[in-house]
A and B are shown apart, each in its own frame.
Chain A
Amino acid sequence: MADVSKLAPGQKVLMQGNEAIARGALEAGVSLAAAYPGNPSSEILQTLADSARSAGIYVEWSTNEKVALESAAAASYAGLRGMASMKQNGVNVAQDFICNLTISGTKGGLVLVTCDDPSGVSSTNEQDARFIARVACLPLLEPATPAECLKLTKLAFELSEQIGNLVVLRGLARLSHTRAGVTPGPLPEAKPRPHWDPNERWFTIPVVPRHQVMLDKLAQAGELIAAAGVNYYDGPVRPELLVIASGSSRLYADEARRLVGAGGRVGILHMGATWPLDQELILEHLARADKILFAEEVDPHIESGVKSIYAQHVRELGLKDFYGQETGHKPPIGELSPSRVAAAMADILGLPWQETDPAYLAKAKAAQALVAPRQVGFCPGCPHRASYWSMKQVLSADGREGIVSGDIGCYTMGVLPTGYERVNAVHCMGSGPGIASGLGKLRSQGFEQPVISVVGDSTFFHAALPALVNARWNNSDYVLVVLDNSATAMTGFQPHPGTGSTAMGQAGTAVDVEQICAGLGLPYTVLDPYDLEATQEALYDALQIGGGLRVLIFRRTCALVQNKRGGHPWRMSVDPQLCRGEDCGCDRFCTRVFRCPGLVFDQATGKTVLDEVVCVGCGVCAQICPAGAIKARPKEATA
């Protein structure tokens, strides 16, 4: 990412939503920013890390989202401004702290950014994290454009400091990764020196009166938000249809009314702040329209809030028609789009709506039969492919229907064909060893299947540790396989505790997985997953031993990282004389079963060929070919 502290104020640049949030934080004078990597939020902290030195601030990748927010809160108590950014799942991890923090309150401006992922493009779910604003009574801002990302981030810090509580900014995957024109403002001159007044104490008791204080802060936030003008109306005085929208949906609604040719009939109430809802403004506009459509992603957050306001004022407002999730005019799942909003508007207003010529649509749809899906898979040379290959071989040789409990990272793809569909369950960060821990305690009731829990190196530190302590303590019987690729590969190769480097590129202290295992008294062995024979032997033995928790560390650098560090050692080739083609291991063993994209089955010759552009030369496939047709020679020797 670029150093955004160097941008010239007043000069419009093309900026990503996430970069604009980072710039907004710098303009607001943030002193400490922390995060755990997770798409679509990762670029916020990376941008701040790359700007940290010139801006004179501290930026870190934390072990998890809760720790990130706690670190940011420390800055607040020391009188400075702090920010924690995360993806929607991270809000769940931080939730316990949030629900207490909102009662104790804050001092310096403190902002939590959640980047939600409608449609789950890079997530295991599409949770709407706006729930946290209701649960914890926090003000919630929702930008629609990169320019607003900058503006509302600044406002969030102001608001937080004025009311003495955390403020939430909600981004969306598309917005996070949208680039548009942004005009940066000035950076602050000087910041105060951090100091925690020893007379200031932050805690939650007595609970009931402090709960009241929290509610008062929310009410105060409502007044400040109304004065800030971030909610506004755009349309005719008495629209036939009023759309109440937030985030990108505001732009979709604006475009949709032009698409259906109803510009003069549709008004939009743009909600830049969606908690607390601006009751006065909403009542004013409900009074002027009889049909109301909601446009928001994913949950009916505004919809339910507005309907509850309406219920209290139904006598003065009279009968209204509401369109949204309840009526099917806004989908309960997936992203919204201009077309989806246009279809809803056309339906409500009784207008014709056609995406394009129906004959064309039918033809284009029929042509999709030619288009093979593009399923994601492990990169060529990925150590995880080798690891899952070994698990597949060993579990089938073992024959007791072993179970693999999965976790979050590139290796989540173990549920897909690229990982031989070897993984039986995946949920959230750290849930793999927890589920394994429970399974390993069902032995006394007759559960005989072997259990493997796979966990990445970054996940190991994020949330796996409590589950491991639990398993050790209660003597649960399973094998933990740490898939150590020395990177947080899925989210963009950020450093983590095991790597020893930090967000700002300085040396930290490497936290050693082996030492942690030793400290817990767990037997462990370190293996190279590229060495299939040794890996399979060790895994097989570990499964046979039984007893308590034991650990295998499969250590091999992520193939993409290795590509940047000088590449892999082998030059590969396939000997067509030896390749058995369709007769091999129940038909095309390497391309059909092993499936590294570097190997291609050539329909014409009936043999496997090597795609030299794709193959990185890890050498693993040479070990799986039963005919010895795949050859690995050292690169230097042939060069």
Chain B
Amino acid sequence: MKALKYDPLDIVVTGVGGQGNVLASQVLGLALLTAGYEVTVGETYGLSQRGGSVTSQVRVSSGPVLGPMMPDHRATAIVSLEPLEALRLLGVYGHPGVVVLTNDRPLRPLGVLAGEQLYPEPAELRATLESLCAKLYWLPATAAALELGNHILANVVLLGALCGLDLLPIGAAEVEAALGDMFPESKMALNREALAKGLALVRAA
């Protein structure tokens, strides 16, 4: 078992209901548990299906079992399927050393659709995120998923991207094996491609 670079390793996985971030956190949790670490995956999904924010917390340690909630402003990384959600969570878990990996595709809240609130311009959002973290990966995960034929694969693209950073004690192969535990083989070809696309995106970044 490889030593953890960060112990505890605290990864926030966030997005909007229906984007598949709960699945992404489960896959990550399963891969890390299989690799022998203590893993706690905390999920909140109250009214998630109806347009709300959904956040899960993947907590990994080599020592004591951790609770389902991480301390504020101590996350190792924030992985977000929606860029505004990344900024929302920096207000809770962010600190100068945090790494942020986010999909660049906005999903506008109801109030924005109704014209009551504004969604920041992409450039402003990106610059603000950049100013609040050690390193920002602003990735076209939805676009990459659409190239594979389904926007829902954005979560797997981001998992692939996460594997390309030097944060996890495991690699894409372990994540792929965990995906294989949850999906039938017929779906795995696409999942493999999505992981590979994510890896390629961070390498290019």
**Residues on A facing B (Cβ under 8 Å):** 12-14, 39, 121-122, 144-145, 147, 173-175, 177-181, 248, 251-252, 254-256, 259, 335, 337-339, 342, 355-357, 360-361, 363-365, 367-368, 370-379, 410, 413, 417-418, 560, 588, 591-592, 595, 597, 599-601, 603, 613
Contacts and interface: CB of A to CB of B under 8 A. Distances in A.
Contact of B73 (A361, A374, A597): A361
Interface string B5-25: 000000000001000000000
Contacts of B66: 251, 255
17 contacts: A121-B44, A175-B68, A179-B29, A181-B33, A251-B67, A259-B71, A337-B72, A338-B67, A342-B71, A360-B95, A364-B91, A364-B94, A365-B91, A371-B87, A372-B117, A374-B109, A375-B52
A177 B85 CA distance: 21
A537 to B, nearest CB: 28
Contacts of A588: 114-115
Most chain B beta carbons < 10 A, residue from A259, A367, A373, A613? A367
Listed from nearest, the 4 A-B pairs whose CB atoms lie closest are: A251-B67, A122-B46, A121-B46, A356-B73
B26 interface: yes
Contact of A252 (B40, B69, B115, B116): B69
Contacts of B50: 376-379, 410, 413
Interface string B28-71: 01100100001111111111011111000000000011111111
A372 B41 CA distance: 27
B108 A600 contact: yes
Given A14-B26, A338-B69, A376-B52, A178 B41 contact: yes
Contact of A371 (B16, B38, B88, B116): B88
Given A251-B65, A601-B115, 4 more contacts: A14-B30, A122-B46, A180-B41, A361-B73
Contacts of A600: 108, 113
B90 A367 contact: yes
B110 interface: yes
Given A367-B87, A374-B16, A595 B33 contact: no
A239 to B, nearest CB: 18
Given A363-B132, A601-B114, A174 B69 contact: yes
A327 B84 CA distance: 37
Contact of B114 (A363, A378, A595, A613): A595
B110 A177 contact: no
A252 to B, nearest CB: 5
A601 B113 contact: yes
B124 interface: yes
Contacts of A372: 84, 109, 111-112, 117-119
B109 A360 contact: no
B52 A179 contact: no
Contacts of B26: 14, 179
B3 to A, nearest CB: 18
A268 to B, nearest CB: 12
Nearest to A413: B50
Given A254-B64, A338-B71, A375-B111, A370 B124 contact: yes
Contacts of B47: 122, 376
B56 to A, nearest CB: 9
A595 B110 contact: yes
Nearest to B92: A364
B96 A375 contact: no
B46 A360 contact: no
A181 B110 contact: no
A379 B49 contact: yes
B184 interface: no
Contacts of B187: none
A418 B87 CA distance: 25
A376 B51 contact: yes
Contacts of A256: 71
Contacts of B33: 12-14, 181
B188 interface: no
A600 B70 CA distance: 36
A371 B84 contact: yes
Contacts of A361: 73
Nearest to B96: A360
B149 interface: no
Nearest to A337: B69
B125 interface: yes
Contacts of B115: 588, 591-592, 601, 603
Contacts of A179: 26, 29, 39-41, 43
Contacts of A39: 46
Most chain B beta carbons < 10 A, residue from A174, A178, A355, A595? A178
Contacts of B67: 144, 248, 251-252, 254-255, 338
A255 B71 contact: yes
A143 to B, nearest CB: 12
Given A14-B39, A372-B119, A374-B52, A145 B16 contact: no
A12 B37 CA distance: 12
Contacts of B85: 374
Contacts of A355: 71-74, 95
B69 A370 contact: no
Given A177-B43, A181-B39, A600-B108, A367 B128 contact: yes
B62 to A, nearest CB: 13
Given A175-B68, A255-B67, A597-B51, A370 B113 contact: no
Interface in B131-181: 131-132, 151
Contacts of A180: 38-41, 65
B142 to A, nearest CB: 10
A374 B83 CA distance: 13
